[in-house]
Amino acid sequence: MKKNWLALAGAGLLSLTISSTAFASPATVKSYVKFRSAPSTSSTVNETLKPGTAIDVQQKVNAYWLKVTVNGKTGYLSPAFIEYGQAPAPPTPLPSPPPEPAPSRASATAGKVIQHAKDLKGTTHYAYGVNQAPALMDCSAFTKYVFGQEGISLKWGTRYQKDAGAFVDRGGLQPGDLVFFRVGSSTEIGHVGIYLGDGQFIHNSPSFDGVGISSMTTGYWSTRYVTGRRVI
C-alpha cells in the first residue's frame, strides 16, 4: 500500500512538472529587472533583462518570485516587473527608396549648354547672316557658339546644323536638343534653337533682338516646328 502511494505521489509530481511546462504563460519584461539563479535577493544575478524581453512564466513561487525561462535559461524574478502577453512584434521597416540616379554625362553637358545660352541674355544681339560671337550673331551662330563652349563642334548655318547628330522625334525631345523651324511663308528650315523641356526653347531671334525663350506649344512657333537633332 505504501509503495502504491509513493508511486502515485511520484506520478503526481511528474504530472505537475509537465503541466507547469506545458502551460507556461508568455510574458514580457516591462522595465529593467534582475534575472536571478534562485528566489532570493542574495542569489546570483544571471543577467539584467531589458524592457521588451520575452519570457515564459513557469511557476509562481510566492507573492514575490516567479520561476521563468528566458532564451532556454531558467531563473527567478519579481512579478512586479513583467506583464503577461506576447511582446509586440517590432514594426516592419519601410523599404528604403531607391537612390536617385546620377545624372548622365549627356544630361550634365546639356545643362551646361543651356546655361551658356541663358548667360547670353542681354549680351548677344541678333543680326541675320552675322557671326561675331558673342556680341552679334544670327540663330545658327548662336547655337554654334554655345555648343562650342562645351567642345561640341557645329557648322554655321541651319542648312548644316539640320543634319548634325541624330534625328529626334518631337515627342522624344530632351533638354539640349536642337529644334528647327520654318519662318515666314517658306517651307524650308530657317531658324534653330535649343530645347529646354516642357515645350520651351531658347534661341537668338530678331523678335527679342537677342536671346529669349519661346513656347513650341502655343503662339507663332507652335505650328512651324520641322525637326529635332541630338548632338550631345
pLDDT in tens, 131-149: 999 999 999 999 999 999 9
**Does residue 13 belong to any structural domain of this protein?**
no
For the chain, what is the domain count? Answer: 2
DSSP characters for 64-132? S-EEEEETTEEEEE-GGGEEESPPPPPPPPPPPPPPPPPPPHHHHHHHHHHHHHHHTTTT-EE-TT-EE
- CATH number of the domain within which 80 lies: 2.30.30.40
Q: Which of 36, 203, 229, 230 is catalytic?
A: 203
Same domain, 34 and 115: no
Range of the domain at 136: 105-230
Residue 177 lies in a domain: yes
Instruction: Give the pLDDT of residue 204.
Output: 98
From the list 139, 173, 202, 231, the catalytic residue is: 139
Indicate whether 58 and 167 sit together in one domain.
no
Question: Is 7 part of a structural domain of the chain?
Answer: no
Task: Please state the pTM of the whole predicted model.
Answer: 0.58
Does residue 191 lie within any of the structural domains? yes
Whether 203 is catalytic is yes
Residue 18 forms part of a structural domain? no
232 residues of the chain, pLDDT tens digit each:
444 444 444 444 333 333 333 457 899 999 999 999 999 999 999 999 999 999 999 999 999 999 999 999 999 999 999 998 765 566 777 788 877 777 788 899 999 999 999 999 999 999 999 999 999 999 999 999 999 999 999 999 999 999 999 999 999 999 999 999 999 999 999 999 999 999 999 999 999 999 999 999 999 999 999 999 999 9
Query: Active-site residue among 36, 125, 144, 191?
Result: 191
